[in-house]
Amino acid sequence: MTGEKLRRIHKARPFRPFVLHLADGREVRVLHPELLMLDPMGRIAVVFYPKGDLHIVDIPLVTEVFFKRRTRSGSRT
């Protein structure tokens, strides 16, 4: 994954929550665009969570981005 690709996903409107799959098997959920911060060089992402937790992600170690598909009713599965 490159910083530019992640930046495009982050800025897409309407925003769709997604999961970053990392090379070590971890998953990092991005629930809202205001909870993701990317460094200007495109190397590091910081994902914040409502209770104060955070993940610092080395963007080149992202192996996949997963979007939940939407059902016809508009809810996500």
Residue 29 lies in a domain: yes
Residue 77 lies in a domain: no
Residue 75 lies in a domain: no
For residue 50, the model assigns a pLDDT of: 85
> Domain of 56?
3-67
- Could you read off the pLDDT of 51-67 as tens digits, one per residue? 999 999 999 999 999 99
DSSP 76: B
Interacting residues of 9 by C-beta distance below 8 A, sequence separation 6+? 18, 65
Residue 13 lies in a domain: yes
DSSP 3: H
Nearest to 18 by CA among 59, 67, 57: 67
For residue 69, the model assigns a pLDDT of: 75
CATH number of the domain enclosing 40: 2.30.30.100
